A and B are shown apart, each in its own frame.
Chain A
Amino acid sequence: MVEKTPKLDFFTYVALIIGIVVVGFPILYAIIAATLPLEEVSKVPMPLIPGDQLLVNIKEAWTRGDLGTQLFNSFVMASGITIGKIVVSLFGAFSIVYFDYRFRTLVFATVFCTLMLPVEVRIVPTYEMAANLFGPLQGVWNALGLDSIISWFAGHDIEVNLELSLLDSYAGLILPLTASATCTFLFRQFFLTIPEELCEAAKMDGASPMTFFWKILVPLSKTNIAALVVIEFVYGWNQYLWPLLITTNQKMTTAVIGLQHLIPSPEDPPNWHIAMAGTLLVVLPPVLVVLFMQRWFVKGLVEREK
């Protein structure tokens, strides 16, 4: 502090405490609700003193919402997206920075432009693509009239249908969200700051490109990787639109989507205690990741957007 400003200091702390309480209130309220039995939670207004039903409610939410399966799906999806994005981007950035080829700039521009194509603006065609990965191939097939050629050879009518659906599959949940312009961009920026001499020395020692990649580049990128692990895990866990579209089977959906079934509709008894117990379970993993890896998370977030 530059000078003594006791009044302003007091105001600072009061404002911060109020801010923290206001920001924390929704989750605090959810925690209290999750500990109460039905007759308490449906009292108007709900008491603000926690009850002792937390474990009972969690168990109820777990079975009613099939949360075990869905949390597992969320976990697979979030980890798949995280690992996929980081691996694909590391390779991509390595190729763009450490090799010289004609289409390098084009490749980078192609990847970079996807920043402007969030899944929300290409909902229907991306869904069609996932519903049948071979759709475009089938189009080519039909355009070339290959069916009739085959039929002519075979002497009877043959129709070829190419189909590979990603609906209700882990691949479908993960793959379309795996390419990432921001990760590639971040790794590229970082690689560009690595001294030239390292690569020179590695080459002089006769290291192959992949040896250089695994032994030098990846260890040097550890901090960046850690930061991206946090950000992408939270991103993957919290995805909404894509899993909503691509999964129809309750067993394949993610926890964030599945939670909706626990929210009482006007006709149901007001089972908000169950809904909130479920909410806590679904919120917990990403919140823990952010809190425990705060240092990397902030670093990654601030650097990523620069």
Chain B
Amino acid sequence: MLRKRSYFKSKGLAYFLVLPQIIITATFFYWPAIRGIVSSFMRSDPFGLKSTFIWFDNYINLFKDPLYLKSIGITLMFSGSVALLSISCGLFLASMANRALRFTALTRTLLIWPYAVAPAISGILWLFLLHPSYGVVAIWLNRVFGLNWNPLLSSRDAMLMVVLASSWKNISYNFVFFLAGLQAIPKSLIEAAAMDGASPFRRFWSITFPLLSPTMFFVTVMTIIFSFFESFGVIHAVTQGGPGGSTNILVYKVYQDGFIGLNLGSSSAQSVVLMLLIVFITILQFKFVERKVQYTG
């Protein structure tokens, strides 16, 4: 690990300084995580009075459960759509803002603020827009396209609604990163290509886009993490997993099975699966950070 050559010697003080962090981490991160892993191998009765060790039964049952498999499919579809929509819009707006030299600061101000809106509130705003009886967008959709739009009853419409709400909130986040990435690309490269007669579109695809790929990767990973975990607020505030379980993404199912269904064994097993997933994503992210360091260095 990197370190300073010059340092202080008082070990007691060093431990004392890091102690608060260690206590909080141990109490609220490690202990619960370990408890969760342990109880994922247990079956407990509904009153939590007795529990028996049952090896991998919770996991086996989980992957045999059609509802869980459906939830995996829903999560993949949800995350994929949110990533596609928010990344493409974020990239498009950032490259436009980057072109509009004089107004970059102004456009940034006008596009950055949805970041500060809580996912749950983003859900509420979109519910209002898409509400079958009052939502202006819903009424417009029904009139213009003759749709029978109803996100409160139709699975497809509900999914579209939560995807829109989550993507909307995430566009500004992706926009910030893409704009920073675009502004870090040396102007000389673009100018050299322009002198060689490359058109603006050609320059974007052959120079900007490849140079932006580390940012692209990072933004993709972060969007997927967002849609896996933080979109809990959108789901809970707007659809509560419904209608008919059609928006029951994995993290909402953990909450539902654990807190409402009180099926602790299954909920814990689901938590562990999610934990493994995020470990995998984090490792991926690190591999990428290393590569990026070599790339620029």
Contact = CB atoms under 8 A, between A and B. Distances in A.
Interface of A: 1-3, 5, 8-9, 12-13, 15-16, 19-20, 23-27, 29-30, 33, 41-42, 44-46, 48, 88-89, 91-92, 94-101, 104-105, 107-108, 110-111, 114-118, 120-130, 133, 136, 175-176, 178-179, 184, 192, 196, 199-200, 203, 209-210, 212, 234, 237-238, 240-241, 244-245, 256-257, 259-260, 263, 266, 270, 272, 275-276, 279, 282-283, 286-287, 289-291, 294, 297-298, 301-302, 305-306
Contacts of B173: 301
A16 B271 contact: no
A124 to B, nearest CB: 4
B126 A26 contact: yes
Contact of A12 (B89, B100, B139, B172): B100
Given A26-B168, A118-B229, A305 B218 contact: yes
Interface in B24-48: 24-25, 27-33, 35-36, 39
Contacts of A46: 134, 136
B20 interface: yes
Interface string B213-234: 0000010001000000110110
B129 interface: yes
A179 B8 contact: no
B31 A175 contact: no
Nearest to B293: A306
Nearest to B48: A128
Given A45-B139, A179-B25, A286-B116, A88 B33 contact: no
B28 A302 contact: no
B134 A272 contact: yes
B14 A124 contact: no
Contacts of A238: 116-121, 233
A196 to B, nearest CB: 5
Contact of A2 (B31, B115, B120, B190): B190
B176 A301 contact: yes
B18 A124 contact: no
Contacts of B275: 116-117, 121-122
Interface string B1-35: 11111111111011101101110110111111101
B110 A24 contact: yes
Contact of B8 (A114, A209, A237, A272): A209
Contact of B119 (A27, A117, A240, A259): A240
A108 B271 contact: no
Given A127-B259, A212-B8, A298-B176, 4 more contacts: A19-B96, A240-B236, A241-B236, A290-B112
